Structures are given as C-alpha cells and as structure tokens.
Amino acid sequence: MIRAVIADDEAPAREKLERWVAEQPDMTVVGSSENGLSAAQCIEQLRPDVAFLDVQMPTLSGLQVAAQLEPSSAPLIVFVTAFDEHAVRAFDLNAVDYLLKPYDLDRFARTVQRVRERLDAHESGAIAVAIGRSRAPSCERLLVPDGERLQLIDAASVEWLQADDNYVHVHTAARDYLLRRTLQDLLSQLGEQRFVRIHKSTAVNLGSIGSLTPLFKGDYEIHLHNGRILRLSRRYREALFARMGQ
Amino acid sequence: MNVLSRPPPAGVHTDYGATFPPKTLATLWALWAAFWLLMITVSIEDQLRDPLTRWWEPVLSEGSSALVSTGWMWLAVRVRGRYARYLDKPLIWFGSYLRWLPLVFITWITAVYAIRHGVYAAVGRTYEHPGWGFVVVYESLKLTYFTGLWLGILFGIDSYGQWQLQWRRLLQTQKALAEAQLAQLQGQLRPHFLFNALNTVSALMHTDVARADRLVAALGDLLRISLRSNEHEMTPLAEELHTLELYANVMLERFRDRVTLDWQIDQALLDIPVPALLLQPLLENVFKHGVEPTVAHVRIIVSARHESGSLEIVIGNSGSMLASEHRDGVGFRNCRERLGIIYGNTASLLVRNEGDGVATRVLIPLMDTIQ
C-alpha cells in the first residue's frame, strides 16, 4: 500500500483529496493536517510514501515544509496550489508533480500514476525538497523535534552543530536538539551565510565565535561566547579565515 | 474582487526647468513694485526739505531708474526658464546673469541720463550732475549692488518654484506607483480567490449538491457585481451588505470550521447610500490577515449602527492582533482615498487592535449621504 499524508488548511479541499486518495485501491491516507507545522510532524512521525501539500497554509507553507525535510528520506511530494505562477514554473522545470486547483479526477489519476512510477523506481522526494529550499525563505528557521512534537527555532539562535552518525546535535543557548539529519544536508538547508564547517563533524555559527587560539601544527582552538572550546582542523582553516575576513 | 480602478491623475505638464508655478512670477513683480514705490517715496521725502527742488525732480530721477531697471528685470525674467537647470549650481546660475553686467552698465547709464537730460531740456532747464567719470563709477557700483540683491531674490523665488514642481511630480509618481501596485495586487488576489472557490465547489459537489449549487450561484452573483460596479457608484447599504454576504458565504465555505461570522445590522440604516464595493476589500483583508495565517478559530462580527451623526460600520475579528510595525496596505489606502474624495475629511477608516482582535472601523457622515 502507498501511504499518503494530506495537508490543506481548507476543509473542503482536504476532504476532496482524502476521498480521492482513499478511493485508489493501492493507497491509504495515514495522516491529514490543517497546517504546515502539523504536516511536518505527520511526515516526521508517520514516514509516508507520498505527501500532498497545499502551498498556502498557516504556520508553514507547503514549500517551507518540504524545505525542512531530509532529501534522501523525504516522501514524494505533490504540491497542491490554487494559483502560483512562479511555483508552477519551477515545478514544470523540475518535473515534480503538482496539482492545480481546481483539478478533476483525470488529472488526479495522472498524478497518482506518476507517484506509483516514481515509487517503483525508488525515487525520493529530494527534488521537491530542493524546490522548497530554493523557493521558501526557510533558512532563517529550523524545525526541530521537541519530545513528541516539532517546533520552529531561529537559525540565528543555533550556536553550533555536531554530527553524530546520521544525527546532528543542534546546540542553542537554551538547550540541545537531536535531529535525524546529516550535517551536510542541514548546512545546505541553513545556507552558507551563517554557518561554517570547522571540522569533519562540526559546524559553527559565525556569530557565536569569540576568539581563536593557535595550536601546534596549524590547528586552532575556537572559543565560543558561551565558553565552549571547539577544535578547528587544518582542512577547514582557510575557508573559515576567508569567511571571517569578509 | 476589488475593482477599484481610478482615472489617471491630472498631470501638470512641465518640461524640466522651463516652467514655474504662476504664483512665483506674481510674487516677484509685487516685490519689485513695492521696492520702487518705496524708493520714489523716500526720495520725494528727502527732496521736500530742499526749497530749490521741485516735486517732480525726485520722481523723474527715481522713475527713470525704475523704468530702465524694469526693462532689464523683464529680460532677466524672460530667460529664467533657460537658466533654471542651473538652480542647483548657484555659481553657474549667478554667473550666467552677471556676465551681462557690463552691458547693463552702459545701456542703463546711457538710457537713464538721456531721459533725465531730455525731460529737463523739455521744461527749459538743465540737468546738473557730477562729472561723467564719477557718474559711471558711482552708478556701476550702485547697479552691481542692486543687481546682486535682485538676482538673490529671483534665485530664491525660482528655487522655491522648482522645488514645488518637483515635489508635486514626486507625489504624482508615488501615486502612480501605488496604483500600479494595486493593479498588480488585484491581479494576484482575484485569480487566487476564484481558483480556491472553484476548488471548494469541486469538493462540495461530491457530497452536497445543493450546497455546491448555492456556492456557484453566489460566485456568479459576486462576479456580476464586480464587473458591473465602478468606484463612483453609490449603493444602498442593504445592497452593499448583500455583496459582502455573498463574498462571506464563499469564504465561510472554504474556511468551514475555522470561522464564524455574525451580523449586527441596524435595520433602520439599510437605505443609506454608501460607496459600492467599499466593504468587500475590508472583509477580504480580515480573511487574508486574520483567518488564513491562523490555526485558531476566528470569530468575525460585521456591525452597522448609528453613531453620533454617522453611520459606523465595524468589521472585527478575534484571535489575531496587528503587528506593532503594522502599516496600512494599498487596499486600505485606496478605500481611505475613496472616502476622502466622496466625503472630504468627515469620513474615516481606521484599523486597530480592540479587545483580543482587530477592528476595522468605517465612519460615514449621515447628513451628507441622505439624498
């Protein structure tokens, strides 16, 4: 069975999708959300095969939801939108599926067929995630797990990131969060402006660096404003200096 | 559905630097006349104490100066359009005028003394004055001093005129820009509203045909009204509220379970004429900023009542507040402008936080609207 999550803030639109997905013999609706944040939570917890995301929703837009997902594990994403010429153009270029409201059963069937083909080819939602990241101003905020729930934090409040296998420890002044993401992917989402890598498994917010102390053999110690000391490896030294010199 | 198009603003045709507001010229000549009147008066007063001098002698002396000076002043005013582009470079502006000074000296002294000699000769007397060397130096110095003074005044007046014109042009540009933004906004809102409404119909007709039918009819009516109306039209309040209700019905269907809407209308006011399609953009705004971005349930109240000589219409919503750096959008400014055009400053449109939500308050004077 293909497991689907549906998110739309307008009840009639949501019910229409729920009904039509449920009518497919090989599909089932595992979750249904009325806003972006709960949609992200649904996807995180239920790990569906496909997510139908309305573009305009409260809390997080469909594009912002996609932008927060980890590309390799993201579900296939079908964006649903009433009218967004620019978004539609982007989808066209990247051949990610989208539904334009209002759509009829034929058009919906074509979408479902495409979803089946992509799943058979073991494709992920990576393209949709890339589109979301390029189109949504999401790099300023980060979705992090907080117990059973998800919450949004300011990217600026993150002091440093520490990779731990397939997880990343997100350190803020208030507390730490554990994210099931790779450091590489998280950095690509947060963008190059604020964060810089200082070690194979560590990245730091440029704004939280207090001072640098040279060590033996070209390594450095980085002292954060909060007193923590991190190691800067030679490999990333030039890149950091270049960024700090700007 | 906001169909507020307006005629292009009445333009002030100007080629840069060639035109001035007409009042500046009047001011200049009034100052000029006052100056010479004063000069003549002072001179008469001065000569009255001298019994050997007749009354017309000071008048001739100052009058001839005034006549020839006015000729030069007239020329200076004629060419000021050509020099206006140098108003922001005072050295070049003053230089452009001052280079004619030698010519002014020669023509001025020649003309003035010719007139004086002529008039004295005509009455059988001789005009006596110091030697020509002294006259040329003395009059040139005097001319330089007064030319400087009056060029300064001309410069001040022309700079002010140019500033006024440029300011007016800037305002027009800003207005045109706002209109362009409005047109763009409408281009985005209308299709968005329509497509979402159509999608709601497409969802409803699978479950409730009668409701879907009603929704299509409401959409049709709304389209008809928005195509028919123009901003100069007045419509009875009942009619305007009906349009608002059609729009609200579509939106309530879309945001079912998230919104309730209550009407508190004073039935005695239903015949009062109000500007057509004034309220719909305001309710649209409430949905856009108060309902769509909110997860919580929202209560909207539309009320119309008599409030100290005015018709007061309030569209209030619960559950969201204005941001502290809130600025009125183009739609609001447009509504306010329409009210201003129709009612002057006796009508008002205010949006502000009230209680646990936002209230949009329209005040329309009652006396002026009852026809």
Q: What ipTM was reported for this prediction?
A: 0.72
Preferred mutation among A6, A9, A52 to probe B, highest tally of B CBs within 10 A: A9
Contacts of B195 in chain A (CB under 8 A): 82-83, 100-102
Distance CA(A202)–CA(A188), nearest Å, equals: 14
List of residues 6+ apart from B13 with CB closer than 8 A = B19
B89 interface with A at CB cutoff 8 Å: no
As a whole-number percent, the residues of chain B with pLDDT over 90 amount to: 47
Strand-pairing partners, residue B307, are B310
Contacts of A100 in chain B (CB under 8 A): 195
pLDDT in tens, B69-120: 999 999 998 888 888 888 888 999 999 999 999 999 999 999 999 999 999 9
List of residues 6+ apart from B360 with CB closer than 8 A = B282, B285, B286, B314, B315, B316, B349, B350, B351
pLDDT at residue B319 tops 90: no
List of residues 6+ apart from B257 with CB closer than 8 A = A11, B297
What confidence category does residue B168 fall into, taking pLDDT thresholds of 50, 70 and 90?
A: confident
Please give the pLDDT value at position B234: 84
Q: Are B317 and B276 in contact (CB under 8 A)?
A: no
When pLDDT is averaged across residues B136-159 and rounded to a whole number, the result is 92
Please give the pLDDT value at position B371: 40
Distance CA(B320)–CA(B293), nearest Å, equals: 9
- Both tokens of B208, joined, read 């409730």
**Is A12–B293 a contact, with Cβ atoms under 8 angstroms apart?**
no
Strand-pairing partners, residue A53, are A7, A79
Mean pLDDT, chain A, rounded, equals: 86
Distance CA(A89)–CA(A49), nearest Å, equals: 25
In chain B, the DSSP E strands lie at 234-236, 259-265, 273-275, 298-307, 310-318, 348-354, 357-365
Taking alpha carbons only, the member of B3, B310, B370 closest to residue B187 is B3
Contacts of B187 in chain A (CB under 8 A): none
What confidence category does residue A85 fall into, taking pLDDT thresholds of 50, 70 and 90?
A: low
pTM of the predicted model as reported, rounded to 2 decimal places: 0.63
pLDDT at residue B244 tops 80: yes
Computed from CA positions of residues B170, B176, B179, B180, in that sequence, does the dihedral angle turn out positive or negative? negative
Contacts of B255 in chain A (CB under 8 A): 9-11
Computed from CA positions of residues B17, B19, B21, B24, in that sequence, does the dihedral angle turn out positive or negative? positive
Q: Are B312 and B361 in contact (CB under 8 A)?
A: yes
**Is A101–B196 a contact, with Cβ atoms under 8 angstroms apart?**
yes
Which single residue is written with the structure tokens 């209550």? B262
**Is B195–A100 a contact, with Cβ atoms under 8 angstroms apart?**
yes
**Is A12–B204 a contact, with Cβ atoms under 8 angstroms apart?**
yes
Burial classification of residue A60, based on how many CB atoms lie within 10 Å of its CB (0-12 exposed, 13-18 middle, 19 or more buried) = buried
pLDDT in tens, B189-225: 577 888 889 999 999 999 999 999 999 999 999 888 8
Distance CA(B51)–CA(B69), nearest Å, equals: 29
Contacts of A58 in chain B (CB under 8 A): 292-295
Strand-pairing partners, residue B316, are B301, B359
B252 interface with A at CB cutoff 8 Å: no
Distance CA(A135)–CA(A128), nearest Å, equals: 10
Contacts of A11 in chain B (CB under 8 A): 255-258
When pLDDT is averaged across residues A64-89 and rounded to a whole number, the result is 80
Chain A residues with CB-CB distance to B under 8 A?
Answer: 9-13, 15-16, 19, 34-35, 56, 58-59, 82-83, 100-104
CA of B293, closest CA in chain A: separation in Å? 4
Computed from CA positions of residues A159, A161, A162, A168, in that sequence, does the dihedral angle turn out positive or negative? positive
Distance CA(A22)–CA(A42), nearest Å, equals: 18
CB atoms within 10 A of CB B227: 10
pLDDT in tens, B153-165: 999 998 988 888 8
pLDDT at residue A93 tops 90: no
pLDDT in tens, B17-59: 456 777 788 888 999 999 999 998 988 888 777 777 788 888 8
Q: Rounded to 5 degrees, what are φ and ψ at B99? A: -65, -15
pLDDT at residue B239 tops 70: yes
- What does the DSSP 8-state code read for residue A71? G
Which of B196, B201, B207 is closest, CB to CB, to A10? B196
Which single residue is written with the structure tokens 């419509």? B235
Calculate the alpha carbon distances from B237 to A42, B4, B13, B37 in Å: 47, 18, 40, 63
**Is A82–B195 a contact, with Cβ atoms under 8 angstroms apart?**
yes
Distance CA(B35)–CA(B13), nearest Å, equals: 33
Please give the pLDDT value at position B20: 75
256-275 in chain B: CB under 8 A from chain A: 256-258
Contacts of B188 in chain A (CB under 8 A): 83
Contacts of B298 in chain A (CB under 8 A): none
Computed from CA positions of residues A47, A48, A54, A55, in that sequence, does the dihedral angle turn out positive or negative? positive
Which of B206, B258, B292 is closest, CB to CB, to A16? B206
Which single residue is written with the structure tokens 């402006």? A193
B289: closest chain A residue by CA: A58
As a whole-number percent, the residues of chain A with pLDDT over 90 amount to: 39
Please give the pLDDT value at position B187: 52
A14: closest chain B residue by CA: B203
List of residues 6+ apart from B239 with CB closer than 8 A = B276
A101: closest chain B residue by CA: B199
Specify the range with the lowest mean pLDDT, choosing from A55-69, A182-196, B214-228, B316-330. Answer: B316-330
Calculate the alpha carbon distances from B285 to B38, B289, B332, B351, B360 in Å: 64, 6, 9, 11, 10
B326 interface with A at CB cutoff 8 Å: no
Which of A16, A34, A102 is closest, CB to CB, to B195? A102
Using N-to-C axis directions, what is the helix angle for B237-254 and B209-228, rounded to 10°? 140
When pLDDT is averaged across residues A161-184 and rounded to a whole number, the result is 90
> Residue A46: helix, strand or coil by DSSP?
helix
Specify the range with the lowest mean pLDDT, choosing from A106-120, B163-177, B208-222, B305-319. Answer: B163-177
- Both tokens of A24, joined, read 């497919």
Which single residue is written with the structure tokens 């404003």? A225
Please give the pLDDT value at position A243: 82
pLDDT at residue A35 tops 50: yes
Calculate the alpha carbon distances from A204 to A213, B21, B332 in Å: 16, 62, 45
191-220 in chain B: CB under 8 A from chain A: 191-192, 195-196, 198-204, 206-207
Taking alpha carbons only, the member of B248, B228, B240 closest to residue B313 is B240
Calculate the alpha carbon distances from A160 to A187, A228, B97, B123, B226 in Å: 11, 10, 69, 105, 55
Which single residue is written with the structure tokens 């002292």? A223
**Is B202–A19 a contact, with Cβ atoms under 8 angstroms apart?**
no
Contacts of B200 in chain A (CB under 8 A): 10, 12-13
- What does the DSSP 8-state code read for residue A75? P
Please give the pLDDT value at position B121: 92
Distance CA(A233)–CA(A217), nearest Å, equals: 10
pLDDT in tens, A208-226: 998 888 887 778 899 999 8
β pairing state of A220-224 and A141-146: unpaired
Which of A16, A58, A102 is closest, CB to CB, to B294? A58
When pLDDT is averaged across residues A98-123 and rounded to a whole number, the result is 89
Which of A19, A101, A102 is closest, CB to CB, to B206? A19
In angstroms, what is the C-alpha Rg of chain B? 35
Distance CA(B249)–CA(A216), nearest Å, equals: 73
**Is B202–A104 a contact, with Cβ atoms under 8 angstroms apart?**
yes
Burial classification of residue B209, based on how many CB atoms lie within 10 Å of its CB (0-12 exposed, 13-18 middle, 19 or more buried) = exposed
pLDDT in tens, B320-364: 888 766 677 767 777 887 788 778 788 999 998 988 899 999 999
- Both tokens of B194, joined, read 């329509």
Preferred mutation among B202, B288, B289 to probe A, highest tally of A CBs within 10 A: B202
> Residue A68: helix, strand or coil by DSSP?
coil
What confidence category does residue A88 fall into, taking pLDDT thresholds of 50, 70 and 90?
A: low
